[in-house]
C-alpha cells in the first residue's frame, strides 16, 4: 500500500514539469509535482520565449500570458544581434533578430496573437509553478525521486524527503519524467537515445554591472564576442547575454572538452567578464559561475507504458536558437490533454501512443538544429581569416584590411555580411518555432496531401489547416463588443473545438450529438456576418483553406485533428468516425 496516491506524478518543476502540472490542474486532473531542491531555477538559463510557448501560456489564461509580458523584456529590446571584438571594442556586424527585422516583424504579427519576449527561467518557472499550485497541484519540494515500478494499473514510485531522510511511496496512474538533462526516469526506463553527450565544454558567469553605455544604443539580448578562444568549445563564440536590461548579465564562454575542466574561480570569472566587455577596470558583482557541457543527444522513443518523459530528459542540446524551455513547455501541451481525456474516460489509452509519434521527431529536429547553429558560426570566423583559430594580431590585420578600398577588401566585407546574415537560421528561425506538423493516429487527413513549404521551412512559418498542423491565427471580431479575438482563442482550454462558417450549421448540430454520445465537450463556433465572431478583415477566409460550409475540428492543443473542406453528406457519422479514431475508442 503506497503512502500517497495521485493520478499523475510529475518528477521535476522545471519548464516541462511545471507546465505539465499547470495544464493538468487546469484540466481538473489530480497531480503531484516533486523537485529535489527546495525551490525553482536559481539561475536564469532559458530566456528566449517564442510565440508558440506564449500561446500555451495564453491558453492557460490571459493572466498567465500578461504576467509573462510583465516580467519579460519586450521583443523590441531583443533585436540588435551584435558581433564584436568586445562590447567596448569594434563592432564587426549585426543582424536584426527575434522578429525585429521589419519583414520578420510582419510575419510574427500575422502568425500569432502573442509576442515573442525574453523571460528568464527564474521568472518562467515561478509563473508556471504558481499557476499549477493555485489550480490544485500538490507540490513537494526537497523531495527526490529514486525509482519506479509499473504494472498494468499504475506506477509506484519511491521518493526521498530530503529534510527528514525518509522514503515515501507514491502510487499514480501515470508518471511524467520531467527531470532534466540527467534524467533518472529516462535512464531507468531504458529509453533509446541517439547522438552524443559532452561534445563541447562551456561555462556560465552571472554578474551585475551597468553596461548601458555599451549597449543601450543597440539593444539586444545577445552580444557575440570574437576573441582568442572564442571558437573553442562553447556555443560558437563568446557571448554576453542580457538578463535584465542593462545591469544583469550572463557570459557564456567555452573550454576544450578534451582538456581538464577549468576551475572557474571568482578571479577567473571576473577576468573573462572584463575581457569580453573590453574594460579591464569594470566593476562587477559576481553572482555565480558554473560549467556545463554542450550535448547532441535525443531520445528516439520518449515513453514506455505508463511513463512519459519530456523536456531536457529527452532532448539535450545547446541553447542556440533558444529552443530548450520552449520545446519542454510544448511537450507538456501535447501530452497533458491526452492524459486528461484518458483519465476522464473520454479517450482510450492508445491515444497516449501519439505523444511518442508526434513529439519524438520534434526532439530530433531541435537537437539537430541547435547543434547545426553552432557549426554555422564557422563562416564568420572564416570571413575574417580566422578559420584556423582566433589570433588577435591576425584579427586586427583583417579588421583593418576590410576597411580598404580594394576589390579584395570589398569581397571580404561581402563575405562577412553573408556569413552574419546566414545566422538567421539561429536568431530568426520563425519556421522552426511555428511549423510543427504532427503525423499520428490522433490526426485524420483522409488522404489530403500535405501542402509543400513554398519558402524555407526553418526560416518562415507557413500557415495551413492541413490536419496535424497548428491552427492558423487570424483576428476575428466579437459581434457583441467588436473586440478582436484570435481563432486560437476560440480553441484549446482542454477541449475539442469545431469551427465552421455560414452554411455549415449542420456541423454544429452534429458536433452536439457526437459530444453527448462520446461524453466529451466540443466547443462550436460559426464564423461569419451576424454570427458571434465575424471575419471583418477577411483574414480567416484567406487562410482557412476550407469553404464556409466546411469545418475544422481542432484538438485541445490547437492542432487541427481533421478538416472537411466543404459540407459532407453525413456530417454526424464523419465526426463520429474521426473522433473515434483520434480518441482511440
Ligand atoms: P530542467 O532541468 O529545467 O528541470 C528539471 C527539474 O527536475 C528540476 O526541477 C530538478 O530539480 C528536477 N529533478 C531532477 N532530478 C530530480 C530527481 N531525481 N528528483 C526530483 N527532482 C528532480 N531554452 C530556451 O527555450 N530558450 C533559451 O533562450 C535558452 N537559453 C539557455 C541558456 C543557457 C545558458 C542554458 C544552459 C540553457 C538554455 N535553455 C534555453 C535551455 C533550458 O534551460 C532547458 O532546456 C530547460 O530548462 C529544460 O526544462 P526541463 O523542465 O526539461 O528541465
Distance 386 CA to ligand 1 centre (A): 34
**For the chain, which residues make up each domain, given as ranges?**
4-72+119-192+300-372, 378-422, 437-582
Strands 167-177 and 138-140, sheet pairing: unpaired
Return d(Cα 111, Cα 99) in angstroms, integer: 11
Question: What is residue 233's predicted lDDT score, i.e. its pLDDT?
Answer: 77
Question: What is residue 583's predicted lDDT score, i.e. its pLDDT?
Answer: 98
HSE of 108 in the Cβ direction (CA atoms, 13 Å)? Answer: 24
Q: What is the DSSP string of 369-397?
A: HHHHHHHTTHHHHHHTT-TT---HHHHHH
- Look at ligand 1, atom 43, and give the residue with the nearest C-alpha: 46
Per-residue pLDDT band for 156 (boundaries 50, 70, 90) equals very high
Q: For residue 299, is it left (φ>0), alpha (ψ between -120 and 50) or beta?
A: beta
What's the pLDDT tens digit per position in 70-121? 999 999 999 999 999 999 999 999 999 999 999 999 999 999 999 999 999 9
What's the pLDDT tens digit per position in 358-392? 999 999 999 999 999 999 999 998 998 888 877 87
Instruction: Say if CB 486 and CB 476 are below 8 A apart.
Output: yes
State what percent of residues in the chain have pLDDT above 90: 94
Would the CB of 46 count as within 6 Å of ligand 1?
Answer: yes
- Look at ligand 1, atom 18, and give the residue with the nearest C-alpha: 145
What mean pLDDT comes out for the span 281-305?
96
Residues contacting residue 94 through CB under 8 Å, at least 6 positions apart: 80, 81, 82, 83, 218, 220, 420
**Closest listed residue to residue 155, CA positions, set 8, 301, 354, 22:** 8
Pocket perturbation via mutation, ligand 1, pick of 51, 57, 122, 180 by most ligand atoms within 8 A of CB? 180
Per-residue pLDDT band for 447 (boundaries 50, 70, 90) equals very high
Would the CB of 14 count as within 6 Å of ligand 1?
Answer: yes
Would the CB of 48 count as within 6 Å of ligand 1?
Answer: yes
Return d(Cα 496, Cα 308) in angstroms, integer: 23
What's the pLDDT tens digit per position in 332-365? 999 999 999 999 999 999 999 999 999 999 999 9
4-72+119-192+300-372: which CATH architecture?
3-Layer(bba) Sandwich (3.50)
State what percent of residues in the chain have pLDDT above 70: 100
Pocket perturbation via mutation, ligand 1, pick of 9, 10, 11, 14 by most ligand atoms within 8 A of CB? 14
Q: Does the pLDDT value for residue 236 go beyond 80? A: no
Instruction: Say if CB 264 and CB 252 are below 8 A apart.
Output: no
Per-residue pLDDT band for 551 (boundaries 50, 70, 90) equals very high
Distance 179 CA to ligand 1 centre (A): 8
437-582 shares the fold of 4-72+119-192+300-372: no
Fold of 437-582: Glutaredoxin (3.40.30)
Pocket perturbation via mutation, ligand 1, pick of 250, 328, 370, 427 by most ligand atoms within 8 A of CB? 328
What's the pLDDT tens digit per position in 393-403? 888 888 898 99
What is the grid cell recorded at 96? 536584426
Would the CB of 322 count as within 6 Å of ligand 1?
Answer: yes
Question: What is residue 490's predicted lDDT score, i.e. its pLDDT?
Answer: 98
Strands (E), 127-255: 138-140, 143-150, 155-161, 167-177, 193-208, 222-225, 238-244, 248-255
Pocket perturbation via mutation, ligand 1, pick of 290, 312, 316, 370 by most ligand atoms within 8 A of CB? 312
Instruction: Say if CB 479 and CB 532 are below 8 A apart.
Output: yes
Amino acid at each position: 500500500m503506497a503512502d500517497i496516491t495521485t493520478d499523475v506524478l510529475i518528477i521535476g518543476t522545471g519548464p516541462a514539469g511545471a507546465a505539465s502540472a499547470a495544464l493538468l490542474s487546469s484540466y481538473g486532473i489530480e497531480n503531484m509535482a516533486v523537485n529535489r531542491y527546495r525551490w525553482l531555477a536559481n539561475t536564469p538559463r532559458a530566456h528566449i520565449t517564442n510565440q508558440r510557448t506564449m500561446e500555451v501560456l495564453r491558453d492557460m489564461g490571459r493572466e498567465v500570458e500578461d504576467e509573462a509580458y510583465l516580467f519579460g523584456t519586450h521583443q523590441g529590446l531583443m533585436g540588435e544581434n551584435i558581433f564584436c571584438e568586445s562590447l567596448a571594442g569594434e563592432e564587426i556586424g549585426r543582424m536584426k533578430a527575434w522578429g525585429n527585422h521589419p519583414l520578420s516583424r510582419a510575419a510574427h504579427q500575422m502568425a500569432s496573437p502573442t509576442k515573442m519576449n525574453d523571460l528568464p527561467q527564474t521568472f518562467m518557472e515561478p509563473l508556471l509553478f504558481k499557476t499549477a499550485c493555485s489550480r490544485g497541484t500538490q507540490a513537494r519540494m526537497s523531495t527526490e525521486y529514486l525509482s519506479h515500478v509499473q504494472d498494468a494499473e499504475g506506477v509506484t514510485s519511491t521518493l526521498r524527503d530530503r529534510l527528514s531522510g525518509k522514503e515515501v511511496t507514491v502510487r499514480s496512474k501515470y508518471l511524467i519524467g520531467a527531470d532534466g538533462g540527467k534524467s533518472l526516469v529516462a535512464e531507468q526506463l531504458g529509453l533509446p537515445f541517439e547522438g552524443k553527450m559532452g561534445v563541447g565544454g562551456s561555462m556560465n558567469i552571472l554578474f551585475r554591472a551597468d553596461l548601458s553605455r555599451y549597449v543601450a544604443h543597440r539593444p539586444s539580448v545577445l552580444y557575440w564576442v570574437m576573441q582568442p578562444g572564442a571558437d573553442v568549445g562553447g556555443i560558437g563564440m563568446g557571448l554576453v547575454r542580457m538578463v535584465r536590461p542593462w545591469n544583469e548579465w550572463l557570459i557564456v564562454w567555452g573550454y576544450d572538452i578534451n582538456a581538464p575542466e577549468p576551475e572557474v574561480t571568482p578571479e577567473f570569472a571576473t577576468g573573462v567578464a572584463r575581457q569580453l566587455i573590453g574594460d579591464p577596470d569594470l566593476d562587477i558583482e559576481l553572482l555565480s559561475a558554473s560549467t556545463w557541457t554542450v550535448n547532441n543527444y535525443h531520445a528516439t522513443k520518449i515513453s514506455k507504458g505508463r511513463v512519459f518523459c519530456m523536456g531536457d530528459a529527452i532532448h539535450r542540446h545547446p541553447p542556440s536558437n533558444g529552443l530548450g524551455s520552449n520545446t519542454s513547455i510544448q511537450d507538456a501541451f501535447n501530452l497533458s490533454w491526452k492524459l486528461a481525456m484518458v483519465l476522464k474516460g473520454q479517450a482510450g489509452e492508445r491515444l497516449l501512443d501519439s505523444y511518442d509519434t508526434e513529439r519524438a521527431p520534434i526532439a530530433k529536429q531541435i537537437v539537430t538544429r541547435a547543434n547545426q547553429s553552432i557549426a554555422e558560426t564557422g563562416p564568420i570566423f572564416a570571413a575574417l581569416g580566422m578559420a584556423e583559430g582566433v589570433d588577435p594580431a591576425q584579427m586586427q590585420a583583417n579588421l583593418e584590411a576590410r576597411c580598404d578600398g580594394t576589390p579584395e577588401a570589398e569581397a571580404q566585407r561581402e563575405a562577412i555580411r553573408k556569413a552574419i546574415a546566414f545566422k538567421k537560421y539561429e536568431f530568426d528561425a520563425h519556421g522552426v518555432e511555428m511549423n510543427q506538423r504532427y503525423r499520428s493516429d490522433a490526426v485524420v487527413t483522409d488522404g489530403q496531401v500535405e501542402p509543400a513549404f513554398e519558402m524555407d521551412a526553418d526560416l518562415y512559418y507557413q500557415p495551413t489547416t492541413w490536419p496535424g498542423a497548428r491552427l492558423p491565427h487570424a483576428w476575428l471580431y466579437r459581434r457583441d463588443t467588436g473586440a478582436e479575438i484570435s481563432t486560437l482563442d476560440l480553441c484549446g482550454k482542454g477541449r475539442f473545438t469545431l469551427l465552421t462558417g455560414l452554411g455549415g450549421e449542420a456541423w454544429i448540430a452534429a458536433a452536439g450529438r457526437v459530444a453527448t454520445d462520446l461524453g466529451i465537450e466540443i466547443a462550436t463556433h460559426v464564423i461569419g456576418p451576424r454570427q458571434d465572431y465575424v471575419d471583418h478583415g477577411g483574414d480567416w477566409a484567406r487562410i482557412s483553406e476550407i469553404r464556409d460550409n466546411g469545418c475544422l475540428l481542432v484538438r485541445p492543443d490547437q492542432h487541427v485533428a481533421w478538416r472537411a473542406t466543404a459540407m459532407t453528406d453525413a456530417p454526424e457519422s464523419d465526426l463520429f468516425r474521426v473522433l473515434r479514431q483520434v480518441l482511440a475508442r
